[in-house]
Amino acid sequence: MVSITLAIPENIKKQMEHFQEVNWSGFVRKAIIQKTEELAWKENLLKELKKEEETRDWAVKLQHADRQGRLEVLKKKGLI
């Protein structure tokens, strides 16, 4: 495991010292792990959505073409 150093305001350091029952190193480690997992999940989700974008665009174009085709049929039948 690697170590990192954080800079915090002096008043926060004093408050942290007041709450000695908290393992601040463990707390920060868990927060960093949780945040990186959330960001990785979000990044993967966005990649998957990007992959589906082409299929979505194709489906929308197909639907528009179908509606236009139905409009032309209704015009020919004199219903519009």
In the chain, domain spans? 10-76
Q: What pLDDT, on a 0 to 100 scale, did the predictor assign at position 44?
A: 97
Exposure class string for 59-80: b at 16+ Cβ within 10 A, else e: eeeeeeeeeeeeeeeeeeeeee
68 pLDDT band, cuts 50/70/90, is confident
Summarize pLDDT for 12-54 with one digit per residue, the tens.
Answer: 999 999 999 999 999 999 999 999 999 999 999 999 998 888 8
pTM of the model: 0.62
C-alpha 26/C-alpha 36 separation (Å) is 15
Query: Between these two residues, 79 and 53, which has the higher pLDDT value?
Result: 53
Who's near 60: CB < 8 A, 6+ residues apart? Answer: none
pLDDT of residue 32: 97
